[in-house]
Structure 1
Amino acid sequence: MQQTVNRVDPALPVGAYQTYSITSPTDTTVRAACQQVGCQAWLHGWESTIDEATDLGAQQAAYIRTQARRTFREQRTEGGLTVFRFESGQRCFAEHKTRPEIYAVRDGDWRGNPTGRHRTHARPQDWVEDFGEHQLRLVDQKKEG
């Protein structure tokens, strides 16, 4: 059963409004940076403990030392394992995914978009700035009467 939406009757024509929205497609994921997803390894650093006596461990250690391009300190445990301690603020080894967000602005309101004008901001900061400037314009218009 669909829920009924209660709306206040608008005081102005549809063309006097702008709608700001943030949506996320439900069936789409994209690769994301550690910082973008709040990765704990990125925030606090991490350790990788590797047994170089195994083929896999030897390959992992060689990759870290020669190709990983990350800052780390290396220590040996009493049991002969190698511990790589990575500093915070650098990309971890995980493949992060997130759902993209679409930052949109269009003319009109729930009744429609009379001009057909629609734009999408590439960065959330730009959307926030646009929204803030729009709010300031509304305040100025109200002051002017």
Structure 2
Amino acid sequence: MAFRPKDPRLPVEAYQTWSVKSRPDKRVKTVCERVGCQQWREGWDSVIDESTELGRQQAAFIRGSRRTFREQRNGAGLTVFRFEPYQRCFADHQTMPEKYLVRGGDYRAAVGKVRVHQRASDWVEHVQEHMGRLLHERDKG
């Protein structure tokens, strides 16, 4: 539930509305970091049985993947690939894309152009700059 003053003191043009929107019916491929992937954050082991055709294919794929790993054999003769953290894992992650919007006006009406930020960090920075200006004006009296 949004906070809405009963009787705004200023005209609608004096306000800005900040919002984040997403479409729950649209999913897109994304990177590990954005979805909080545990393998990306902590690293992971892939244990491969190279005595099988599938295992040989998996090992060849890993060796050609351009990821950083250490390779060793375990007691059972299986190949263990130990991947360092902070690199893309092998999963296909998906997320719902978000739009970071700033528009003139408030709940009474939209006025002017809508600004769409491509990154959340840009939107947050814009909010902080705007709030800083408001606080400065308030402190001036």
Superposition deviation, residue 32 in structure 1: 1.1
Write out per-residue CA displacement over residues 42-88 of structure 1, whole angstroms, 9 at most, x where no aligned residue: 111000011111111110011112x1101111111222211111111
1:91 aligned residue: 88
Superposition deviation, residue 39 in structure 1: 0.7
Q: State whether structure 2 residue 42 is matched by structure 1 residue 39.
A: no
1:121 aligned residue: 117
TM-score, normalised to structure 1, is 0.89
Whose strand fraction is larger, Structure 1's or Structure 2's?
Answer: 2
- Among candidates 65, 70, 73, match of residue 68 of structure 1: 65
TM-score, normalised to structure 2, is 0.92
Write out per-residue CA displacement over residues 2-47 of structure 1, whole angstroms, 9 at most, x where no aligned residue: x9x8842211111110000011111111111111111111111000
CA contact (8 A) 2:20 2:99 kept: yes
Specify every segment of 5 or more residues in structure 2 that has no aligned partner in the other structure, as ranges. Answer: none
1:133 aligned residue: 129
CA contact (8 A) 2:68 2:84 kept: yes
Amino acid in the other structure paired with 2:18:
Y
- Among candidates 46, 56, 64, match of residue 58 of structure 1: 56
1:79 aligned residue: 76
Specify every segment of 5 or more residues in structure 1 that has no aligned partner in the other structure, as ranges. Answer: none
Percent sequence identity is: 55
2:111 & 2:49 partners in 1: Cα distance?
Answer: 65
Write out per-residue CA displacement over residues 79-138 of structure 1, whole angstroms, 9 at most, x where no aligned residue: 2211111111111101111111110000000111133x1010011111111111111121
1:111 aligned residue: 108
Q: What is the RMSD of the two structures over their aligned residues, measured on CA atoms?
A: 1.7
